[in-house]
Amino acid sequence: MVKVVKSIIKKGQTKQRPGGKMTPKYITVHNTANRNKGSNAEMHARYLHNGAGGRTVGWHFTVDDKEIYQHLPLNEHGWHAEDGAKGKGNLTSIGIEICENSDGNHDKAMQNAQWLIRKLMSDHNISIKNVVPHKHWSGKNCPNRILPIWDKFIDGLKEQPKSDNLYKVQIGAYKQKVNADLQAKRAKDKGFDTYILREKGLYKVQIGAYNKLENAQKQADKARKAGFDIYIENSGSGSTSSKLKTFKVGQKVRIKQSAKKYSRANVTIPSKYKNKSYTIQQVGKNDVLIKELYSWVRKSDVQ
């Protein structure tokens, strides 16, 4: 964990803190382009608080090799992407400046920034695809020191964040890696970022790891709608993978294509009844009563 110092610019200093509301969808990475000695995160915080030399500019975080300074609330946009007053870069992205002062360790500053970005991705449910360089918005050669190694920088974000309590969203666990690879490709084709982890002899296909359960649930809901069976594993509690879904009366569900027989009758479920929306009328210990069919179906066979 890296020390984060809150140094929020005062309201009314609109050239640095415009005050417009924002729901973060992107994270934009910058280099400070300032290699002077002492040009660390604290110095850049003072620079913004002192009016940035009259410039209209403001970003959310500055990161150096020892600590991180936060300048703007994360529900407010800044001026850092150079794509205009109505640009997505300015209005929907969290701006992060990474220091490159000559008396600092730039590699360590990048690692600290990666830690911060992983945390922001988890806290705000931001896809790794939406972590972009400043160049993405304006064409500027920024972050100048990271662009030549951008793919490596992004690969560093795929490392599992160290946390005592992570909610890992999984879409399958396989003995054979080839099967995990096929499931991962299927997920990638539908727009998900995937990771294959090997644990206890199984290749687990994961589409996210989150500090907050609500963010894991959002990702799980998105994947369920795309046709995947979802498991959430809580690494903090040491629990094993379990189905996310909590079944309630009145809830809409559908019978999986893989379902074979009704749970309380030795009768095959016709294909025509699968992948259609139904209503739960009653919840049993291991099964649910489908109102429209008036038949019991195993919980593991509905989603």
Q: pLDDT tens digit string along 227-243?
A: 888 877 776 544 333 34
Of the two residues 63 and 278, the one the predictor is more confident about is 63
Any idea where the domains of the chain sit in the sequence?
Answer: 3-157, 167-243, 252-301
**Residue 112 pLDDT greater than 80, yes or no:** yes
End-to-end CA distance of the chain: 37
Nearest by Cα to 110 from 165, 152, 164, 53: 152
Contact yes or no for 71/80 (Cβ under 8 A): no
Record the pTM: 0.62
Nearest by Cα to 62 from 22, 9, 25, 10: 9
| pLDDT of 185 | 92
Report residue 289 as tokens.
């009563």
**Residue 213 pLDDT greater than 80, yes or no:** no
Which CATH architecture group holds 167-243?
2-Layer Sandwich (3.30)
Helix (H) or strand (E) run with residue 298 in it? strand 295-298
| pLDDT of 241 | 36
Q: pLDDT tens digit string along 159-202?
A: 655 554 677 888 988 888 899 899 989 998 998 888 787 777 88
| pLDDT of 131 | 97
| pLDDT of 244 | 41
**Residue 216 pLDDT greater than 90, yes or no:** no
Kindly report the average pLDDT of the chain as a whole number.
Answer: 88
Does the domain at 3-157 match CATH 3.40.80.10? Answer given as yes
287 band by pLDDT with thresholds 50, 70 and 90: confident
Integer Cα distance of 104 and 109 in angstroms: 8
